[in-house]
Amino acid sequence: MRPRREVRQGDAARLTRVKHGANLAQLSSLCYGIKVRSLLAVLILALAAGSVTAAGWPQPAIEQGDSRDIEVLFTFDDGPSPLLTAKLLDTLKEHHVQAIFFLVGNMAQSKDKRTAPVLERMKAEGHVIANHTQNHLDECRAPLEKAAADIDNGKATIERVTGWPLAWIRIPFGARCAQVDQLLADRGLWHFHWDLDPQEWQHHSADKAFTYVTGQLARARGRVVLLMHDIQPATIGALPRILTWIDEENARRATSKKKQIKILQAPAYAAEKLPNGLGGWLREAGEGIQSLPDLVARVLP
């Protein structure tokens, strides 16, 4: 496992002294002074520290937003697959959706030459990358040392192959026990759970996945986190139909004044998790280049 990057206290202090009126020139000067990677690391550490919880895996999986509409956050586990994840990215791009990909370290470091371009696409197209461990073990059944290595090696591997620091983790199988609680607490992490699980990895049916997801979204309230798997053909088959259904359902709802079903973009949700004040600073620092969600997508994994 490669050494963890350290952020010097002086660097962090300089960041906290940046005024909200900072412009791009000031940001560039700061980056040259403490290096771009240190800036990224400070922001990731701030995000992770603000997300620690000891409450387990409650549902709803994430806090509710200010929107009165239904919001769905798309998340995908177990990849990347050189072929299937690439197809899924095509679908997400066509429908203007930015998701969270919880990657498995062994999959991410595949020697298949098609894997690296898939990871580059995830970053270039504004998705968020997160840790799903190195070997997808049941961390409650694995010995403590082995479970700890699975979490840490997954993070190290994914950071090495993507070049981006990771802030979030999803524990395989959503397993929870005292051992997992302690492992997460020791690292200042929280498990990113879900609300909707079509189980397509088990039944391998795109039709069943489509029926389940659309049925749940039709009666959903507030925010929901959808779990699917980008290495499953059933996911690849169901996703375009789900996204098309959302568009068509919103058109129907517009005539009846029912609540819309909106996509909660992953970088937009990440921006919400930044500590108070930091989001405003980023917004002003990046003014004239790109919106805050796109800027945060570059800062986050």
Residues 68/259, Cβ–Cβ less than 8 Å: yes
173: left (phi > 0), else alpha (psi -120 to 50), else beta? left
Residue whose C-alpha is closest to residue 64's, from 193, 271, 226, 223: 223
Choose the catalytic residue: 77, 150, 195, 230: 77
Tell me the CA distances in angstroms from 203 to 42, 177, 198, one per residue in order. 42, 27, 9
Helices 36-49 + 24-34 axis angle, to 10:
100
Say whether 136 is catalytic: no
Q: How far apart are CA 264 and CA 73, in angstroms?
A: 5
Which residues, in sequence order, are bridge partners of residue 226? 74, 196
Q: Is the peptide bond before 60 cis (omega within 30 degrees of 0)?
A: yes
Q: How far apart are CA 90 and CA 86, in angstroms?
A: 6
Q: How far apart are CA 222 and CA 69, in angstroms?
A: 7
Say whether 229 is catalytic: yes
Choose the catalytic residue: 132, 191, 193, 229: 229
Residues 147/135, Cβ–Cβ less than 8 Å: no
* Residues annotated as part of the active site: 77, 229
